[in-house]
Structure formats: C-alpha cells, structure tokens
Amino acid sequence: MFQPYKGRRAFEHIAEQIKQAILSERLISGDRLPPERELAEQFQVGRVTIREAFRTLETMGLIEVKKGSNGGAFVSAADPDAMASMIMDRLQLEGTTHDEFVEARVGLECAIMDAVIKHATNDDLDVIREDIEASKEILGREHAEEVVARMINFHILLGEASHNIPYKMFIRSMMQWAARRLKHWVPSPDEQIYSYNSHLEIYRAIESRDSSLVQRLIREHIKNMGLLVLKHSNAPK
C-alpha cells in the first residue's frame, strides 16, 4: 500500500501517504494501521519516524493511537466538531476580526438558506422546529451555557438541512467562534425572547419556501446577534 520514503523530513512524507490512503478510502473509519515495526520496514525508516508521523496524523484528527494489548493506530471516525475547532483555531491565529466574522457569516448563511429552501426535507423542518420550541423556555443564570448552546444549535441545524457537506462544516466553524466569544454570556430574558422570535420567523419563511424573506431575516438576525456578541464577548472570566 505504501512506498519507501525518499527525501527529507521522512515523517511528513509518511504522514502524507497515510493521509491519502484515508482520503481515498483505501483505509476507512475503524481500520487498524499496520504495526510500527511493519510500517518502518515498508517505509525503510526507524520506528521513531513512524511515531512522529502518527503524532502528525493524530493532530489532524485522522487517526487515534490507543495503548494496551488491543492498542495501535486506528483511523478515526469523522468528528465535525473537531474539524470545526481546528479551522477556528487557524482563523484566530490569522487575526480574523469581529467584522470579518460577521461578514463571512452573512455570506455563508445566505448561501445556506438558498440550499435549505431547495433541499430541506419535512424531517429537517421537524428537527428545526423542535429545536426552536426547546429554546422557548426562559432559563436562569445557572443554565446560561445551555441557553447559548440552543441558540447556536439552530444555525448548525440549518447547515444540516442544506444537505451540503462544506456548508455543514463551515457553519460549525462559524458557530465555534460564537461559542468561544460568548463563553461567559448570561442572556437576559429579552435577549432570549429575541433569539426565539427571530429563529421562529426564519423557520416559518423556510417552511413557506419564501427565499427573499428568509434572506432578509437571516441577514438581520446575524447582524443583530453580531452586535450582541460584540457587546458581551468581553465579559470577565
């Protein structure tokens, strides 16, 4: 399956070959990679180099190395939240600004709304409606984390309803940004009511397949929530 290493930085070359085997589905979720000794022989390198390649692949979220008698390196199951977190880490390291995030969210979620209007099923709509209804109850300070999670989940469900894999991944990344910025936010009753009513309006526009209305509503909602994020993101830790 693999070719001997030729060149410099052996562990990167090895990690790239294994990554390509995973991406091409020659290796699939749950598959166990050959033992270190066998891979070292195939690649004609030392076992330390194989371990370094494994560490690189673990950082990418592509494999999981387990200890013990039944251990080894296994191809990881897809973890959309882990990938979203990695993307968000990179965006933060690049110094992405608040205004850039809001602008990106408007563009992304307007595109998602087009796909939702076209592709959302009745089951998708049921799940979105149930999520909105679950957020109707006003919860106290001790449940602030749950309240914010419900607000964020609405947008993730819209991504799921688009039936577009890149949209689903990118919206999770955008919502990672919101979750991090609002980690210490305790939404007021008025803020919770606004979120509920706004989500309900968007849902009804989707249900009626009113593309122009849903585009207007999602733009307004993202901009208003962006102001809330800006207002509350500097809350003390």
- Residue-range domain boundaries for the chain: 10-75, 81-232
**211-232 and 165-181 are packed helices; what angle lies between their axes, rounded to 10 degrees?**
30
pLDDT of residue 167: 95
pLDDT of residue 235: 43
Domain 10-75: give its CATH architecture.
Answer: Orthogonal Bundle (1.10)
pLDDT string in tens for the chain (237-residue length): 666 655 558 899 999 999 999 989 899 999 999 999 999 999 999 999 999 999 999 888 889 999 888 889 999 887 777 777 778 888 888 888 989 999 999 999 999 999 999 999 999 999 999 999 988 877 777 777 888 888 899 999 999 999 999 999 999 988 988 888 877 788 888 888 999 999 999 999 999 999 999 999 999 999 998 888 888 775 444
Kindly report the backbone phi and psi dihedral angles of residue 72, in degrees, each rounded to the nearest multiple of 5, phi listed first.
135, -175
pLDDT of residue 60: 82
- In 10 A of CB 172, how many CB atoms? 22
Given CATH 1.20.120.530, say whether it is the number of domain 81-232. Answer: yes
pLDDT of residue 214: 97
**Burial readout 83-111 (b: 16 or more C-beta within 10 A, e: otherwise):** bbbbbbeebeeeeeeeeebbebbbebbeb
pLDDT of residue 69: 80
pLDDT of residue 68: 83
